């Protein structure tokens, strides 16, 4: 049985990105992050950007725009992964926290990438059908 996607909240990638953002907020509430307002703010803004861009793209005008927003979301995800490496290096998080989040974010990046590929193929198929009917 396949699930019908009615709104952005039905997308697995959106759900996973919200879950990751919640975990980032938990981790950045720790004492280590509490005084580093710059890194704390940056990683939070980047992680919120992931789900926000997925939602905004879904509500946009077709697959071309959605693909563009998914690529932005994937870029924000890479930003979060980079900031987590920095947080690990300066001992704001431990290896267990880092590995857990990194694994989650790698999976999410793969799913976003697969979704981009799927939408790109649909777009090309649609263009091919349109060209043949003209």
Q: What is the pLDDT of residue 133?
A: 66
Q: Quick one: which H or E segment has residue 62?
A: none
Residues 52/77, Cβ–Cβ less than 8 Å: no
Paired tokens of 89: 């290096």
**Nearest of 30, 36, 77 to residue 53 by alpha carbon:** 77
Residues 5/12, Cβ–Cβ less than 8 Å: no
Residues 46/83, Cβ–Cβ less than 8 Å: yes
Give the residue-averaged pLDDT of 51-55: 98
Q: Is 41 within the bounds of a domain?
A: yes
Q: Is 71 within the bounds of a domain?
A: yes
Q: What is the pLDDT of residue 1?
A: 41
- Domain tally for the chain? 1
C-alpha distances out from residue 115 to 25, 28, 86, 118, Å:
26, 29, 29, 5
Q: Is 102 within the bounds of a domain?
A: yes
Q: What is the pLDDT of residue 3?
A: 65
Residues 93/81, Cβ–Cβ less than 8 Å: no
| Structural domain containing residue 84 | 35-127
Q: Is 15 within the bounds of a domain?
A: no
Paired tokens of 112: 């976003």
Q: What is the pLDDT of residue 48?
A: 98
Whether pTM exceeds 0.75: yes
Residues 74/16, Cβ–Cβ less than 8 Å: no
Q: Which residue has the tokens 């001992």?
A: 91
CATH number for 102: 1.20.1440.60
Q: What is the pLDDT of residue 129?
A: 63
Q: Is 13 within the bounds of a domain?
A: no
């Amino acid at each position: 049985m396949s699930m019908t996607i009615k709104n952005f909240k039905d997308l697995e990638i959106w759900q996973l990105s919200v879950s990751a953002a919640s975990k980032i907020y938990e981790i950045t509430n720790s004492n280590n992050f509490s005084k580093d307002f710059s890194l704390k703010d940056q990683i939070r803004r980047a992680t919120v950007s992931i789900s926000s861009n997925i939602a905004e793209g879904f509500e946009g005008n077709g697959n071309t725009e959605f693909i563009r927003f998914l690529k932005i979301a994937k870029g924000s995800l890479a930003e979060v992964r980079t900031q987590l490496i920095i947080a690990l290096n300066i001992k704001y998080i431990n290896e267990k926290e880092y590995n857990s989040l990194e694994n989650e974010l790698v999976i999410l990046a793969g799913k976003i990438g697969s979704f981009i590929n799927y939408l790109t193929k649909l777009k090309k198929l649609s263009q091919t059908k349109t060209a043949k009917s003209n």
